[in-house]
Structures are given as C-alpha cells and as structure tokens.
Amino acid sequence: MSKLFIIIQARMTSTRLPKKVLLPLCGKTVLEVMLERLEKWKDSIIIATTDDGSETPIVELCERIRIPYFKGSTNDVLSRYYQTAKKFGAKKDDIIIRLTSDCPLIDASVLEKTLDFYKQGHYDYVSNRRNQTFPIGLDVEVFSFGVLQEAHQKATTHYEKEHVTPYLYISQKEHYKIGSYKDSSDNSKYRLTLDEEDDYTAIKEVYKQFNNQINFSYHDLIKMLKENPYIYEINQNIVQK
C-alpha cells in the first residue's frame, strides 16, 4: 500500500516578506497555524527547509513541536523535495503532496478531496491550482515519488528546479496524465497566500472574523469572505508571481 508524504517547503529568506513563516498569527506562528489546520495529517507531514544557515528558527520550531524536517538546497527546491522524500524512505508508488508554508488558510478537506481525485483518476499529477477555481493560498499538488524522481533526474532549467513541478505539467505534459481538481464554483479571485504585507493584513482579518479560532471549514471561509468584501479588497492589487 502506498505511503503518503506531505512535504511543506519553508524558508526564512523570502524576498518580499522575509521570515514570513514565523510571523505571529492567532498567538502562534504562521507555520504553526498551517500545521494545526492539517492536524488530521500530522503523521505524514515533513518540513523541507533550507541548508543556507538561515533555517535555524524553523528547525527549532520543528523540534519543539516534533515535526520531522530536512535541510536541502535553497534555490533548487526540486532537489530539496526529492532529497526530503528519499531521506524519509519514499518508494516509487508512494504519494507526495506538495504544499508551501505561505498558506496558513490551507484546508484539510480540500487537500483530501484533491488526493482522492488523484487516486480515483489514476493520474500522474493533480493540482487544484492549475485552471484555478480555489482561492490562491489553498494550493495542493499531488504526484508519486517515481514521478518526482524522474523530474529530479531530467529537469534542466532554473524555473523547473525552483518551482518543483513545471517539468511535469509544462515540459512533459504530453508524457504524463495531468488532472485539475476544481471547486464547485469559481472562488479564484480571493488571495489567501502570504507574500506581501497586505496579504498578512488580509489573513489576520480572516482569522479575526473567526475570533482567532483555527479550525473552520472551507464552506465557512467562503461564506465569511462573501459577507465581508473588504477583506478581498485589502490585497486585490497584488500580482501573483
């Protein structure tokens, strides 16, 4: 039976909002909030951080809350993912879920449904971020370790290595069976990722509406955003890289 590895990339050296994963949120850090949102999947989570010397606070957090971690290349994130999965014993048919640590509103049920879509369709790669219908910041990508290994061995460009999966869905899209998991309605206008100061303001406003409680459903999140359009307006002008 395939094992599941949820690998979350996290670094301290983001250029637009440095040290963003450890910014305070709901009395914790952004990364801790994200991990609590994924409590159901805790036993499958590994943090893939950097080895450039800046990662010590992330490592200390992981050790304090007992989350496994791996330190790898800062810029070759594809290599970091591959080495992380390999270090923790991933085999060819094991499933890798890629998440990024700037998503403190990640939703466990969206993750689960994306994973189910991947399994049921026998895909090589599935995401809910291509043909986007979910809010930016609830991004989930699913693929096997075998596919990750092939990407690691064959990807050549800086873009493919920095962003982990473009080799699969751009360079080799004819080679792999690619799937897009979509929301029942288009909520892609909402920006719930953490890249800039206005994003941080918007995310704090979301949690304020839930009284800084961490566990609320995707349905409740969308309902709240529609009832409070000012939150969308806070960071609507930021262009996603």
| 21: in domain | yes
Domain residue limits at 31: 4-189
| 117: in domain | yes
Q: How many residues does the chain have?
A: 241
- Report the Cα 43 to chain-centroid distance in Å: 16
| 220: in domain | no
Cβ atoms 159, 171 nearer than 8 A: no
> What's this model's pTM, rounded to 2 decimal places?
0.96
CA–CA separation, 138 and 124 (whole Å): 20
Residue 238 has pLDDT above 90, yes or no: no
Residue 199 has pLDDT above 80, yes or no: yes
Tell me the per-residue pLDDT of 65-88, one tens digit each, with 9 for 90 and over: 999 999 999 999 999 999 999 999
What is the pLDDT, as a whole number, of residue 171? 87
| 237: in domain | no
With vertex at residue 37, the alpha carbon angle to CA 168 and CA 134, rounded to the nearest 5 degrees, is 50
| 26: in domain | yes
| 232: in domain | no
The answer to which of 12-16, 18-22, 53-57, 110-114 has the lowest mean pLDDT is 12-16
Phi, psi of 45 (to 5 degrees): -90, 135
| 37: in domain | yes
Cβ atoms 46, 69 nearer than 8 A: yes
Sequence-distant (6+) residues with CB within 8 A of 15 are none
Tell me the per-residue pLDDT of 170-197, one tens digit each, with 9 for 90 and over: 989 899 999 999 999 999 999 999 999 9
108 pLDDT tier (thresholds 50, 70, 90) = very high
What is the pLDDT, as a whole number, of residue 1? 82
Tell me the per-residue pLDDT of 32-71, one tens digit each, with 9 for 90 and over: 999 999 999 999 999 999 999 999 999 999 999 999 999 9
147-157 average pLDDT score: 97
Residue 157 has pLDDT above 90, yes or no: yes
For residue 94, give the CATH number of its domain: 3.90.550.10
CA–CA separation, 38 and 33 (whole Å): 9
Residue 240 has pLDDT above 80, yes or no: no
| 177: in domain | yes
What is the pLDDT, as a whole number, of residue 14? 87
Instruction: Quickly tell me which residue has 């941080």 as its tokens.
Output: 200
Q: Please state the domain count of the chain.
A: 1
What is the pLDDT, as a whole number, of residue 74? 95
